[in-house]
Structure 1
Amino acid sequence: MTTDRVLRNRLVAAELRLLDPRVRTDRDAVAQLLAPDFVEIGQSGRIWTRAETLEALEAETGFGEVEMSEATARELSPGLYLLTYRLRVGVRQSRRSSLWRVTAGGPLLEFHQGTVAPA
């Protein structure tokens, strides 16, 4: 496997951890994946801080079965990668963008945005 493919797979694995219902409700597990200044723009347009995200995910129930497809990763600057993909949660589909910083301790999610997409 090429280094690019290995890195892409590593970022996809980190993203999939955040989509795993067992991880999503584990505040400590999620905190290890989110950068200290993490921000998300949700599908509704709401801006979520790291603290708000940790609180919301900890209380979440019934996230549902997910399917990720069309994942691509691109290096934007040394150690900073843009991961884009299509996500299906139940019948809802969206396009997702995540900025991951690769550190010695593992990948940290800096930014995430979801946009509703037609099926």
Structure 2
Amino acid sequence: MTMEHVIGLEKALLDPSTRSSQTELDRLLDPSFEEIGASGRLWTRREIVAALIDAPESEPIESANFNGRRIADDMVHVTYETRHEGRHARRSSLWRQVDGRWTLLFHQGTPIPDPGGHPRAGYRYQDSVTVTERSVFLCLAMSE
């Protein structure tokens, strides 16, 4: 397995033809798949497949800054950014290998506020980042 292969699977899930195909979604999404969307909503596999099939997207999702890291023999963590329909988000995915096949186990999207703008009216966000050897913590201090 190469990291490029798993990142390629992630990129395939951004393609409107994959997102509207029951066969492709069944192939790529793990039976235990869950997603925390950029809206904060928790999606089950059944809910996300139904939503994607019922309302297919015609506009491609722009993506950039892909990075992959093996975190166990059978687990890969992929991060990247997307822009779609005026929204910018950081994305994080956990891919699991079972019987030689990679499937997406978990995905989370986190909105990135536009520079100079405020994601929520009345709040000011101050970002501070602490980097350790194994993890990155983003602390958001909110004040009115």
> Which TM bucket (shorter chain)?
0.7 to 0.9
How far residue 66 of structure 1 moved from its aligned partner, in angstroms, is: 2.0
Whether the 8 Å contact between 1:41 and 1:48 is mirrored in structure 2 is: yes
Extract unaligned runs of 5+ from structure 1.
Answer: 1-5
3-state SS, counterpart of residue 64 of structure 1: coil
Q: Which has the greater radius of gyration? A: 2
Percent identity at matched positions? 38
- TM-score, structure 1 length as denominator? 0.86
Q: d(CA) in 2 for partners of 1:109 and 1:37? A: 9
Q: d(CA) in 2 for partners of 1:17 and 1:114? A: 17
Whether the 8 Å contact between 1:27 and 1:57 is mirrored in structure 2 is: no
3-state SS, counterpart of residue 84 of structure 1: strand
Q: d(CA) in 2 for partners of 1:83 and 1:112? A: 9
Structure with the largest fraction of helix: 1
Instruction: Show the counterpart of 1:74.
Output: 69
- After superposition, where does 1:8-87 map in structure 2 within 5 Å? 8-87=3-82
How far residue 20 of structure 1 moved from its aligned partner, in angstroms, is: 0.7
Instruction: Show the counterpart of 1:110.
Output: 105
Runs of 4+, deviation exceeding 4 Å: none
Give per-residue Cα distances to partners, 1:27-81, cap 9 Å, x unaligned: 1211110111000001111111111111111012335222221111111111101
- TM-score, structure 2 length as denominator? 0.72
Aligned length: 114
